[in-house]
Amino acid sequence: MLAGKRILLVIGGGIAAYKSLLLIRLLKGAGAAVTPVLTRAGAEFVTPLSVSALAGEKVHQALFDLTDEAEMGHIQLSRVADLVVVAPATADLMAKLATGRAEDLASTLLLATDTPVLMAPAMNVRMWQHPATQRNLAMLLADGVRLVGPDQGEMACGEFGPGRMAEPEAILAAIEAALSDGPLKGRHVLVTSGPTHEPIDPVRYIANRSSGAQGTAIAAALRDLGAEVTFVSGPASVPPPAGVRVVRVETAQQMLAAVQAALPADAAVMAAAVADWRVANQGAQKMKKDGSGRAPALEFAENPDILATVSKAAARPRLVVGFAAETEHVVDHATAKRARKGCDWIVANDVSPQTGIMGGSENAVVLISDAGAESWPRMGKDQVAKKLALRIAEALQNS
């Protein structure tokens, strides 16, 4: 599966470093070559000898190693691999890459490399949840770093929660996915997802019940087929998928700007539940009750239609897919919507409360295209996403 591939494996300083020894064995078993890099802290947990014995190669440790610099140098070392894997990725290594620091061999390689990076974080749960680590994580994801784990569970330090390094088998699977030559390899796909929040005043906003689950699943499915995904998301309740470029927005106007900045793309999937209206007389300060018992008179302005704008943009993606959230006459309304907005396909669904689709884990959709309306059976949002991603891959191959 990984025959002919070379992995540059950076082993950071954490108790999980012992699992990286097993990962090396799995990688070798799958046919990959492993160039190991051990940080100073990593060498406190596993010995250079065990790492190089398992990898069957010299372990690189120092930035200024005269022999290394004479042989190939740290820059070349960063280029030899098909994928750079950081396991365990400590809070420190994540912080270094997020802020672009290059002060030892591992951080310099991460900054100098032109190959994709996969991180397997491992740290104490409080360190993982610390806003600083979460900020760094958001930056790394936005830069396109892929992530595997961390898992939730009992930790070596005795605490419980997210922060445990993914198991070596899961890391191997993530490496195989990252290196797979999927049908969307080399394609850029833009996905919008989640609700938008339209402020009333600095503390209140108008929103909708979209969780972002369907858009997130679509972005992950497209990524799994090899696409480079830009994921523009409103304030969703599910976390964004790993390994995609994440752009976070709040309002419809910000979403439009982010979408336009992300073009050109081969395809666009607009799964966001964009608010149709924003408050035109938004308060600069919190709106106070005036004692009269009268409700404030909110005035509304229509938001830009992002799907319609992209459908007629000069840099229009070859395939533009919209969604239609309807509560009645689903096919008729969605067919009219497709024509009105100028997109190629509409994925229509019935979001009446009794269907449990909005905020739920399942979806029942009708795909409306040139060829007419095609009903898909009710299935998990993940399966809808996979089926749609395959259809997108087919359409891009045929066009």
Catalytic residue selected from 53, 75, 132, 157: 157
Q: Does 322 contact ligand CTP by CB under 6 A?
A: yes
Which of these ranges, 30-38, 46-54, 79-87, 269-277, lies near ligand CTP under the rule CB under 6 A? 269-277
Tokens of 389: 């991603």
Which of these ranges, 144-152, 157-165, 183-191, 303-311, lies near ligand CTP under the rule CB under 6 A? 303-311
The whole-angstrom separation of Cα 114 and Cα 127 is 29
346 membership: H or E segment, kind and range: strand 345-350
Binding residues for ligand CTP, total number by CB under 6 A:
15
CB 11 within 8 A of CB 17: yes
CB 229 within 8 A of CB 222: yes
Residue tagged 């809070």 (tokens): 91
Single out the residue of 35, 20, 44, 21 nearest to residue 74, CA to CA.
Answer: 35
Single out the residue of 333, 381, 335, 384 nearest to residue 356, CA to CA.
Answer: 381
Q: Does 335 contact ligand CTP by CB under 6 A?
A: no
Tokens of 398: 């045929």
Q: Does 317 contact ligand CTP by CB under 6 A?
A: no
Binding mask 158-197 for ligand CTP (x = CB under 6 A): ----------------------------------x-----
Single out the residue of 181, 76, 163, 78 nearest to residue 123, CA to CA.
Answer: 163
Q: Does 10 contact ligand CTP by CB under 6 A?
A: no
Q: Which of 120, 147, 246, 324 binds ligand CTP (CB under 6 A)?
A: 324
**Residues 92 to 151: which contact ligand CTP by CB under 6 A?**
none
Q: Which of 24, 217, 244, 274 binds ligand CTP (CB under 6 A)?
A: 274
CB 44 within 8 A of CB 13: yes
**Residues 228 to 257: which contact ligand CTP by CB under 6 A?**
252
343 a catalytic residue:
no
Catalytic residue numbers?
Answer: 157
Where along the sequence are the contacts to ligand CTP (CB under 6 A)?
192, 252, 270, 272, 274, 276, 303, 305-307, 322-325, 337
